[in-house]
Amino acid sequence: MKQLLVITVTMLLMGCIDFGGGPVTDKIETITEKKSPNGKLIATSFSCSGGGAAGYFYFNASLRKAGEKLDQRDGLLGKHKTWKAFADIEVKWIDDENLEVSYKQSDSPDYKENNAVKVGSKHGVKIHYVVKK
């Protein structure tokens, strides 16, 4: 009985250890970063890799207030933020209230639900999406 208790406690403790990395250990590379015309917001296209042994690598875009740190899990594109469903992402300000995000996407049926999810507006900015061919 005592051995079973020791094994159970050991397994529980091992379950609390993060062997795979995560948002804190992600490697983020900024591709394009543009301030809004009034300088209050920043639109960024970026890549992110991480996840340890399971691993992931993806591209996405972000919209945040100037002075805030980029949150790679707060992307504008996709239901599952760590899927590599989008590429060649560009951001372009139309004016202070409109942002254009253009990108290529995976057209595989497996990505249909994921790719249908996009943030329509954020921080009072309407986001317009253009799929590149």
Instruction: Assess whether pLDDT exceeds 50 at residue 129.
Output: yes
Q: Identify the H or E element spanning 115.
A: helix 112-115
pLDDT tens, position by position, 41-94: 999 999 999 988 889 999 999 999 999 999 999 999 999 989 999 999 999 999
Cβ(99)–Cβ(126) below 8 Å: yes
Mean pLDDT of 113-119: 96
What pLDDT score does 57 carry? 95
What pLDDT score does 69 carry? 96
> Which amino acid would we find at residue 84?
K
Mean pLDDT of 2-12: 48
pLDDT band (50, 70, 90) for residue 17: very low
Apex 42 CA angle, 127 and 40, nearest 5: 100
Instruction: Assess whether pLDDT exceeds 50 at residue 9.
Output: no
State how far the Cα of 41 lies from the Cα of 14, in Å rounded to an integer.
Answer: 42
Radius of gyration of the chain (CA): 19
Q: Which of 78, 42, 43 is nearest to 59 (CA)?
A: 78
From residue 17, how far is each of 11, 12, 52, 66, 128 by CA, in Å?
10, 9, 13, 35, 41
What are the residue ranges spanned by the domains of the chain? 23-131
Mean pLDDT, all residues of the chain = 87
What pLDDT score does 37 carry? 98
**SS3 sequence of 19-51:** CCCCCCCCEEEEEEEEECCCCCEEEEEEEEEEC
What pLDDT score does 12 carry? 40
What pLDDT score does 52 carry? 81
pLDDT band (50, 70, 90) for residue 2: low
Quick one: DSSP state of residue 133?
A: -
Q: What is the pTM of this model?
A: 0.80
